[in-house]
Chains A and B, each alone.
Chain A
């Protein structure tokens, strides 16, 4: 397996634009997680899915953020409209279990810069 695949690796966009981040989890992993990492706030859990169903989205900062998982092999995180304070590295991770038994496998991340 190629691991968790995220795209794009880097994204620079202007304030107000829509941004879509993509993730392909490891095949067979039932849980998919979206994290945001900043120097100030560290690794924050935004939302996670189980079998394509959103389970906990309490970490989603605002209505500008939305996430979908239309099938077991694909998820998106969308920010609309984007703001400079959304600049961060966004990681997608997948695992067999919700508590990460056996560990979470992280993708390489998307570095988002909103100017």
Chain B
């Protein structure tokens, strides 16, 4: 079946340090989405990537979609305490619904 691996499972950083989470699939994806869930909250849509090699930026967040459309990354530059939460990728294989990765839990020490 469709497998999506998200690494790392946890990441603890000092405020101001960078953070990256990776999402890897065993199959070619039609698109990938990223979500953020604050502690006690619900997943909130951040962005969608569709094209091979696509790179999108949202302020300090940079999202990349691999050339083979099997992997993606989310990079946060100079983390802040407001970045705390769990970051999920959600993947769609052609003609199938979205499946969520296990998430990367980010904690930021002030």
Kindly list chain A residues whose C-beta atoms are within 8 Å of the C-beta of B97.
33, 45, 48, 56, 98-99
Number of residue pairs spanning A and B whose beta carbons lie under 8 angstroms apart = 54
Query: Size range of the interface on B?
Result: 20 to 34
Chain A residues with Cβ below 8 Å from B30 are: 99
Q: Which A residues touch B41, using CB under 8 A?
A: 108
Within 8 A of A (CB), among B72-110: 88, 90, 92, 96-103
- List the A side residues contacting B90 at CB < 8 Å: 100, 104
A115 close to chain B: CB less than 8 A: no
| B residues less than 8 Å from A106 (CB atoms) | 42-44
Interface of B is mostly: strand
Residue of B nearest to A109 (CB): B42
Do B33 and A100 have beta carbons less than 8 Å apart? yes
**B50 nearest CB neighbor, chain A only:** A101
A103 to B100, CA, bound (A): 12
Query: Which residues from chain B sit less than 8 Å from chain A, CB to CB?
Result: 30-31, 33, 35, 41-45, 48, 88, 90, 92, 96-103
Q: Give residues in A with beta carbon < 8 Å to B.
A: 33, 35, 42-43, 45, 48, 56, 91, 93, 98-109
